[in-house]
Amino acid sequence: MLGTFSECKSLALEVRYRCYFMESGCARPYVAGRLGATQTNGIRATFVIPDASIAIDDVPFTEENGAAVQAWIPV
Protein backbone atom coordinates (compact mmCIF):
# COMPACT_ATOMS: atom_id res chain seq x y z
CA MET A 1 0.00 0.00 0.00
CA LEU A 2 1.26 3.46 -0.88
CA GLY A 3 0.05 6.70 0.68
CA THR A 4 0.33 10.30 -0.43
CA PHE A 5 -0.54 13.02 2.07
CA SER A 6 -1.39 16.71 1.71
CA GLU A 7 0.80 19.35 3.34
CA CYS A 8 0.62 19.87 7.07
CA LYS A 9 0.45 23.57 7.87
CA SER A 10 0.29 25.11 11.31
CA LEU A 11 0.24 28.63 12.69
CA ALA A 12 1.34 29.40 16.24
CA LEU A 13 1.39 32.58 18.27
CA GLU A 14 2.96 32.84 21.71
CA VAL A 15 3.52 35.73 24.10
CA ARG A 16 5.94 35.44 27.03
CA TYR A 17 6.53 37.67 30.03
CA ARG A 18 9.16 37.57 32.76
CA CYS A 19 9.25 39.76 35.88
CA TYR A 20 12.48 39.86 37.92
CA PHE A 21 12.72 40.66 41.63
CA MET A 22 15.66 42.20 43.47
CA GLU A 23 18.81 43.63 41.89
CA SER A 24 21.22 41.73 39.66
CA GLY A 25 23.47 39.34 41.55
CA CYS A 26 24.39 35.68 41.62
CA ALA A 27 20.73 34.72 42.17
CA ARG A 28 17.73 36.67 40.96
CA PRO A 29 14.23 35.20 41.43
CA TYR A 30 11.53 35.84 38.83
CA VAL A 31 8.00 34.93 37.77
CA ALA A 32 7.43 33.95 34.14
CA GLY A 33 4.36 33.19 32.11
CA ARG A 34 3.35 32.38 28.58
CA LEU A 35 0.12 32.34 26.67
CA GLY A 36 -0.33 31.05 23.14
CA ALA A 37 -2.41 29.24 20.56
CA THR A 38 -1.75 26.90 17.65
CA GLN A 39 -3.97 26.17 14.64
CA THR A 40 -3.26 23.12 12.43
CA ASN A 41 -4.97 22.39 9.11
CA GLY A 42 -6.63 19.11 8.22
CA ILE A 43 -4.61 16.53 6.28
CA ARG A 44 -6.08 14.49 3.43
CA ALA A 45 -4.57 11.33 1.94
CA THR A 46 -4.71 9.14 -1.15
CA PHE A 47 -4.03 5.42 -0.71
CA VAL A 48 -3.10 3.09 -3.57
CA ILE A 49 -2.74 -0.71 -3.62
CA PRO A 50 -0.97 -1.29 -6.97
CA ASP A 51 -1.25 -5.11 -7.03
CA ALA A 52 -5.03 -4.97 -6.62
CA SER A 53 -5.56 -1.82 -8.77
CA ILE A 54 -7.32 -0.11 -5.87
CA ALA A 55 -7.12 3.63 -5.21
CA ILE A 56 -8.86 5.49 -2.40
CA ASP A 57 -8.70 9.23 -3.14
CA ASP A 58 -8.93 12.30 -0.93
CA VAL A 59 -9.55 10.57 2.40
CA PRO A 60 -9.73 12.76 5.55
CA PHE A 61 -6.70 11.70 7.59
CA THR A 62 -6.73 14.33 10.37
CA GLU A 63 -9.17 17.11 11.18
CA GLU A 64 -8.37 20.79 11.48
CA ASN A 65 -7.83 21.66 15.12
CA GLY A 66 -6.46 24.23 17.51
CA ALA A 67 -4.92 24.24 20.94
CA ALA A 68 -4.28 26.87 23.61
CA VAL A 69 -1.14 27.05 25.76
CA GLN A 70 -0.94 28.66 29.16
CA ALA A 71 1.76 28.42 31.81
CA TRP A 72 2.83 30.48 34.83
CA ILE A 73 6.16 29.61 36.39
CA PRO A 74 7.21 31.00 39.78
CA VAL A 75 10.95 30.57 40.21
Instruction: Please state the three-class secondary structure of 2-70 as a single string.
Output: EEEECCCCEEEEEEEEEEECCCCCCCCCEEEEEEEEEEECCEEEEEEEHHHCEEEEEEEEECCEEEEEE
pTM: 0.58
When divided into structural domains, the chain yields a total of 1
Q: Which one has a higher pLDDT value, 60 or 28?
A: 60
Whole-number average pLDDT of the chain: 90
